[in-house]
């Protein structure tokens, strides 16, 4: 047809495959990139704390109490002469363990409960009322109660923080299952005689993964914050283990004299939570097609 | 009237002239969506744009309305003249004016096109106050006039109603009223009756015709249904892959199509004439329901209330290798019966006997061996295959459940893929790599993998283009002949039912209205409702595959353009 020539010629797309995609700086989105770098620095610092930290985080040195920032003590020292930089690095370990641990445990417990709740209507009412009850308890109060009953350790703190997060995961999984179970492919699986566990694992669970990753980051951030609050209130991990919360709690007494005692752990805490939340938001944008923003303008 | 060649200069009487319109996708490598199409719509004329999915017919209408999705599509060249004014170069403010006063559009799904939280009156009022300076009293009168023009009953009540309180047909009438309230010269109707039942479709088509004659509106009617085209068009443009393949007056297109594509499109339309009776190969009854009923209860906590009857007293008998059709409009209970028979929902009354054994009361565990015997093909092949699983995984899931070793099941799946007309290597691909028709073939292969006695096809070809539909129907027929499987075929489309069914059940409001051999039920219906359904089938006086009117029919519409 003669009309064909009205179209601009279309260049054959040149596709080169590389083993590693070369990252173009201009293609990166600013906030998520910065958040990822920030979080990576904190994670590496926490992992390599024994190597990087110049001092033992709990070794006291009465000669150098409340020293200012210097080459030996970049963040100064606290009232017992302990190096704040080393303590902040080690504190990151507690925060990350609690944050990632809470997210994993909440998902591991919440996913099966949510699947069951979404699939069996008769169980749904009972389970969801229990979850409503759990959600009604203020998380910090619950944590204080559990810690005061069971004694303070990393594990009790982790459990205390995780329990109130579970209902949120259950509700999320349930809502995904409620819509996915109506899909014809689930009915088709029933028709070919697939067992219930198989239907749940093969056809329903994959739908929950993307929203769970997003929810997991929020759980992680909120767990880190709750742990810091508990430590600050003295209901968290014992003072023998440095955590951002109890570094700040101890620094509070000398706050007016040496603001840096609270500033540095506080800064790390804020940056960690902000980074995780930004990454979570980005994950949501990318994975949720309804909110998905197209990269191409 | 010959208009195969379009004069470049618009004749003065034309309401819409599209010249060499090229629409492409945006981005670095623009792909053509419309490849230089030209068409025109004369004053008071009904022009049909017919084509299969992806042919670009909807893009044409959106471009005309100036509604091309901004980020995705762009008009590269050409002109769209609405009463001489170019839409492509108009400012967005001007476009807004044009849209209500010169041209307006009605869509396929009236529920989503209407605002659910506004009454009918306030929606019409909004249109009027935005574009016409009228007093409140004038607007009130105008709204009532236009609602009675579209034959809505009890206009005062309609004015106060919200969209969800109306039926599908009433909603589409409201949409038409909204489109016509400012008396535009051009009405674009994009598949306006596709979501409606045939009887409602007939009324809406009649309404559009009537309004057009009263107001002299020109109509650009977009449809995939040749039956509808035969009923309403003055002239037809056949589109395929962004190009206009053929155009001409309706009579010329239907009786003497020149292009092979148009011929294929017409021959693919199933005839309304029932298939020739087939002798029953076997006397064995594979599926039988007696007094099957399904009532959805709405009882509150303490009070028992009357439930909604979805199906009641349904008695069916399906013999080995036979095809039984269930036809009816939406809400007639045909899908409920299918889902009860599949035990996807629990019937509240009656029994289902599969090869003589009652399966209606069996527990999940006891039902397991029987599941194998009866399989289902769903309406929407996009949703009936898990998008995350490969084709092979989907097909072998059933056999593996029943103990076939995975390797053997995979081999069997390959054979089945060939049986349904797909290449063997399709097995490792994912559903999104296939077209709708191919996906439906995969779904058929999955059902066949279980070696069932009964296949339940719930609107299995309704979502497919007419040519693909014909292929899938042929495939089902072929499989039945080869494997002797019985088919329970649920459809709203009488043409499809006539093509494939040995016996037909007509259902209305959950009850069986008529039941008998296809030739009798469709050829010589006893019940008024069946006759009504047949009468409403679009293009029923036309024998599409043979390019002629049906003998004894009243002939087709007068094609002269009303002044």
Q: What is the pLDDT of residues B66-106, one digit of tens each?
A: 888 887 888 888 999 999 889 998 898 899 888 878 899 99
Prediction pTM value: 0.81
The answer to whether the CB atoms of B36 and A4 lie below 8 A apart is yes
Consecutive H or E run containing B105: strand B103-106
Is A9's Cβ below 8 Å from some Cβ in B? Answer: no
The answer to whether the CB atoms of A193 and B388 lie below 8 A apart is no
Residues of chain B with Cβ-Cβ distance to A188 below 8 Å are 376, 378, 384-385, 443, 446
Q: Nearest C-alpha of chain A: how many angstroms from B393?
A: 10
Per residue in A210-223, pLDDT (tens digit) is 899 889 999 999 99
Confidence of residue B7 (pLDDT cuts 50, 70, 90): very low
For B398, nearest residue in chain A (alpha carbons): A192
Structure tokens at B50: 């017919």
Do β-strands B46-51 and B235-240 pair in parallel, antiparallel, or remain unpaired? parallel
Span B332-340, average pLDDT: 90
Is B366's Cβ below 8 Å from some Cβ in A? Answer: no
For B37, nearest residue in chain A (alpha carbons): A3
Task: State the average pLDDT for chain B.
Answer: 87
Quote the CA–CA distance of B535 and B273 in Å, as a whole number: 13
Quote the CA–CA distance of A202 and A197 in Å, as a whole number: 8
Torsion-angle region of B448 (φ positive above 0: left; ψ -120 to 50: alpha; else: beta): alpha
For the residues of B479-533, what is the DSSP string, one character each?
HHHHH--EEEEEES-HHHHHHH-SEEEEEETTEEEEEEEHHHHHHS--SHHHHHH
- Give the ipTM of the model, two decimals please: 0.79
For chain B positions 18-37, those within 8 Å of chain A (CB to CB) are 20, 22, 24, 27, 29-32, 35-36
Span A41-61, average pLDDT: 87
The answer to whether the CB atoms of B36 and A3 lie below 8 A apart is yes
Structure tokens at B81: 């003249």
Is B546's Cβ below 8 Å from some Cβ in A? Answer: no
Spatial CA neighbour of B66 closest among B100, B32, B92, B38: B92
Confidence of residue A59 (pLDDT cuts 50, 70, 90): confident
The answer to whether the CB atoms of A194 and B397 lie below 8 A apart is yes
Per residue in B166-177, pLDDT (tens digit) is 888 889 899 999
Is B446's Cβ below 8 Å from some Cβ in A? Answer: yes
Residues of chain A with Cβ-Cβ distance to B371 below 8 Å are 191-193
Residues of chain A with Cβ-Cβ distance to B27 below 8 Å are 296
Is A192's Cβ below 8 Å from some Cβ in B? Answer: yes
Is B376's Cβ below 8 Å from some Cβ in A? Answer: yes
For the residues of B308-374, what is the DSSP string, one character each?
EEEEEEEEEEEETT-EEEEE--TTSSHHHHHHHHTTSS--SEEEEEETTEE-TT--HHHHHHHHTTE
Residues of chain A with Cβ-Cβ distance to B442 below 8 Å are none
The answer to whether the CB atoms of A8 and B77 lie below 8 A apart is no
Confidence of residue B42 (pLDDT cuts 50, 70, 90): very high
The answer to whether the CB atoms of A192 and B398 lie below 8 A apart is yes
The answer to whether the CB atoms of A198 and B368 lie below 8 A apart is no
- pLDDT at A173 exceeding the cut of 60: yes
- pLDDT at B275 exceeding the cut of 60: yes
Confidence of residue B306 (pLDDT cuts 50, 70, 90): low
The answer to whether the CB atoms of A189 and B376 lie below 8 A apart is no
- pLDDT at A296 exceeding the cut of 50: no
Span B259-277, average pLDDT: 86
Of A10, A184, A190, nearest to B30 by CB-CB distance is A10
Spatial CA neighbour of B18 closest among B76, B63, B68, B73: B63
- pLDDT at B286 exceeding the cut of 60: yes
Per residue in B450-497, pLDDT (tens digit) is 999 999 999 998 888 888 888 899 999 999 998 999 999 999 988 899
Structure tokens at B116: 């659910």
Q: Nearest C-alpha of chain A: how many angstroms from B364?
A: 10
Task: State residue B239's pLDDT score.
Answer: 93
- pLDDT at A112 exceeding the cut of 80: yes
Task: State the average pLDDT for chain A.
Answer: 84
Task: State residue B392's pLDDT score.
Answer: 94
For B380, nearest residue in chain A (alpha carbons): A184
| Count, residues in chain B | 563
Span B233-260, average pLDDT: 92
For chain B positions 380-409, those within 8 Å of chain A (CB to CB) are 380, 383-389, 394, 397-398, 401-402
The answer to whether the CB atoms of B20 and A13 lie below 8 A apart is no
């Amino acid at each position: 047809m003669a009309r064909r020539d009205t179209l601009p010629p279309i260049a054959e797309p040149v596709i080169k495959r590389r083993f590693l995609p070369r990252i173009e700086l201009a293609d990166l989105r600013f906030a998520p990139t910065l958040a990822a770098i920030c979080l990576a620095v904190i994670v590496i610092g926490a992992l390599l704390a024994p190597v990087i930290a110049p001092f033992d985080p709990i070794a006291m040195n009465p000669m150098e109490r409340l020293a200012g920032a210097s080459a030996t003590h970049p963040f100064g020292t606290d009232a017992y002469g302990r190096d704040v930089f080393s303590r902040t690095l080690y504190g990151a370990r507690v925060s990350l363990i609690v944050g990632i641990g809470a997210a994993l445990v909440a998902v591991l417990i919440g996913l099966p409960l949510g699947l069951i709740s979404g699939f069996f209507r008769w169980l749904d009412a009972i389970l969801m009322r229990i979850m409503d009850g759990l959600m009604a308890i203020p998380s910090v109060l619950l944590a204080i109660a559990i810690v005061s009953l069971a004694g303070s350790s990393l594990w009790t703190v982790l459990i205390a923080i995780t329990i109130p997060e579970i209902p949120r995961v259950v509700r999320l999984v349930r809502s995904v299952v409620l819509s996915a179970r109506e899909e014809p492919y689930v009915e088709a699986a029933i028709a070919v005689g697939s067992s219930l566990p198989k239907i749940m694992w093969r056809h329903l669970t994959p739908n929950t993964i993307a929203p769970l990753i997003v929810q997991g980051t929020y759980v992680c951030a909120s767990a880190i914050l709750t742990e810091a609050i508990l430590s600050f209130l003295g209901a968290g991990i014992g003072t023998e283990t440095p955590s951002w919360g109890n570094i700040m709690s101890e620094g509070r007494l000398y706050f007016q004299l040496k603001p840096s005692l609270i500033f540095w752990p506080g800064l790390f805490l804020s940056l960690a939570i902000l980074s995780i939340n930004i990454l979570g938001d980005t994950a949501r944008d990318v994975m949720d097609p309804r909110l998905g923003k197209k990269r191409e303008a | 009237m010959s208009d195969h060649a379009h004069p470049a200069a618009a004749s003065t009487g034309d309401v819409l002239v599209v010249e060499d319109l090229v629409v492409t996708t945006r981005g670095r490598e623009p792909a053509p969506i419309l490849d230089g199409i030209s068409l025109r719509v004369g004053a008071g004329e009904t022009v049909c744009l017919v084509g299969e999915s992806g042919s670009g017919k909807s893009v044409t209408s959106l471009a005309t309305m100036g509604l091309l999705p901004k980020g995705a599509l762009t008009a590269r060249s050409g002109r769209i003249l609405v009463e001489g004014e170019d839409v492509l170069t108009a400012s967005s403010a001007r476009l807004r004016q044009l849209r209500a006063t010169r041209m307006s559009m009605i869509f396929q799904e009236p529920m989503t096109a209407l605002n659910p939280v506004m009454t009918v009156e306030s929606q019409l009022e909004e249109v009027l106050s935005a574009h016409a300076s009228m007093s409140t009293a004038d607007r009130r009168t105008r709204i009532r006039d236009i609602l009675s023009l579209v034959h809505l009953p009890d206009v005062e009540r309609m004015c106060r109603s919200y969209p969800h309180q109306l039926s599908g047909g009433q909603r589409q009438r409201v949409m038409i009223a909204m489109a016509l309230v400012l008396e535009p010269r051009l009405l674009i109707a994009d598949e306006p009756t596709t979501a409606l039942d045939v009887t409602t479709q007939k009324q809406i088509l009649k309404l559009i015709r009537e309004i057009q004659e009263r107001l002299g509106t020109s109509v650009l009617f977009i449809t995939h249904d040749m039956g509808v085209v035969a009923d309403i068009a003055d002239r037809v443009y056949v589109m395929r892959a962004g190009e206009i393949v053929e155009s001409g007056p309706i009579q010329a297109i239907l009786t003497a199509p020149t292009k092979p594509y148009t011929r294929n499109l017409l021959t693919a339309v199933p005839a309304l004439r029932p298939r020739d009776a087939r002798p029953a190969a076997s006397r064995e009854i594979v599926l039988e329901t007696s007094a099957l009923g399904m009532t959805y209860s709405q009882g509150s906590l303490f009070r028992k209330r009357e439930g909604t009857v979805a199906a009641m007293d349904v008695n069916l008998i399906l013999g080995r290798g036979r095809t039984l059709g269930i036809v009816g409009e939406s809400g007639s209970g045909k899908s409920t019966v299918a889902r009860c028979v599949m035990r996807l929902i629990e019937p509240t009354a009656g029994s289902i006997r599969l090869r003589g054994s009652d399966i209606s009361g069996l527990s999940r565990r006891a039902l397991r061996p029987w599941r194998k015997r009866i399989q289902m093909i769903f309406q929407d092949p996009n949703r009936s295959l898990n998008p995350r699983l490969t084709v092979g995984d989907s097909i072998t899931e059933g056999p593996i459940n029943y103990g076939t070793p995975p390797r053997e099941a995979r081999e069997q799946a390959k054979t089945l893929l060939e049986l349904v007309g797909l290449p063997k290597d399709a097995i490792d691909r994912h559903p999104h790599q296939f077209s709708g028709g191919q996906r439906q073939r995969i779904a058929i292969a999955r059902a066949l993998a279980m070696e069932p006695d009964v296949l339940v096809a719930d609107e299995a070809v309704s979502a497919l283009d007419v040519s693909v539909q014909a292929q899938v129907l042929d495939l089902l027929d072929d499989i039945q002949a080869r494997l002797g499987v019985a088919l329970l075929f649920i459809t709203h489309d009488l043409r499809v039912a006539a093509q494939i069914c040995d016996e037909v059940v007509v259902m209305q409001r959950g009850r069986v209205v008529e039941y008998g051999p296809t030739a009798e039920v469709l050829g010589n219906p006893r019940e008024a409702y069946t006759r009504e359904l047949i009468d409403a089938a679009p293009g029923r006086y036309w024998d599409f595959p043979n390019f002629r009117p049906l003998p004894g029919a009243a002939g087709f519409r007068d094609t002269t353009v009303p002044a």
